[in-house]
Amino acid sequence: MMLKKICLISGFALILSACTFQTKHRGYVFPINLEQKVQDIKTTSALIDEFGAPQVKTLYGDEVWIYFGADENYRGPFAPTYTNETVLLVWVKGGRIQKTKLLHDADLPDIKIAQGETDIPAAIELNAIEELFNNIGRFSPAGLGQ
């Protein structure tokens, strides 16, 4: 009878431990008065002082600096969900800020991640034996400092 209770309590504890609730912040932690702070900033140096370097800068077209922050919520064995998503877009020209745009959860499009892998054009597919022989001679022996 006692063994049965111990097994039941252990099983219940195991199930509860798999159902943890955890939130991690990803990206920038924006201040509460973000809109007011962004309006007061006029130069890129002031922007970097306030928020740091952007996560992304566009390569083509207008120069846009992108800052992103979100809360990643873990709920046990389920896929993580994201809340409090905020994106700050800053159009920059010659060290001066031309325009800013602030996007929140409702403004962001719902993007579905495709399952599987993307094929790479002209990729070479090797099996395990070919990979093994392909790597012969590529690595220097340990301790030679090369």
The pLDDT of residue 103: 85
In a domain, 114, yes or no: no
Asked if residue 54 belongs to a domain, the reply is yes
Counting Cα atoms < 13 Å in the Cβ hemisphere of 145 gives 0
The reply to whether 31 falls in a domain is no
Helices (H), 30-138: 34-40, 44-51, 128-134
Confidence of residue 141 (pLDDT cuts 50, 70, 90): low
- At 142 the pLDDT is 64
For residue 128 the two structure tokens come to: 């395990």
Domain count, the chain: 1
H/E segment holding residue 15: helix 2-17
With respect to residue 129, please indicate whether it lies within any of the assigned structural domains.
no
User: Rounded distance, CA 26 to CA 23, Å?
Assistant: 10
What is the three-class DSSP state of 10? helix
Instruction: Give the confidence band of 64 by pLDDT, cuts at 50, 70, 90.
Output: very high
Could you list the residue range(s) of the whole structural domain that residue 72 is in? 38-108
Q: Which residues, 6+ apart, have CB-to-CB distance to 106 below 8 Å?
A: none
pLDDT in tens, 3-57: 777 767 776 666 666 566 788 888 888 888 888 888 888 888 888 888 888 988 9
pLDDT value at residue 102: 86
What CA–CA distance (Å, rounded) separates 27 from 86?
A: 10
Q: Are 106 and 83 in contact (CB under 8 A)?
A: no
Tens of pLDDT, residue by residue over 97-139, are 899 888 888 877 777 777 787 777 777 788 888 887 877 777 6
Q: Is the pLDDT of residue 94 over 80?
A: yes
Burial 19-51 (b: 16+ CB within 10 A, else e): eeeeeeeeebebeeebeebbeebeebeebeeeb
What is the overall mean pLDDT for the chain? 80
Residue 85, CA distances (Å) to 25, 73, 96 in order: 10, 12, 26
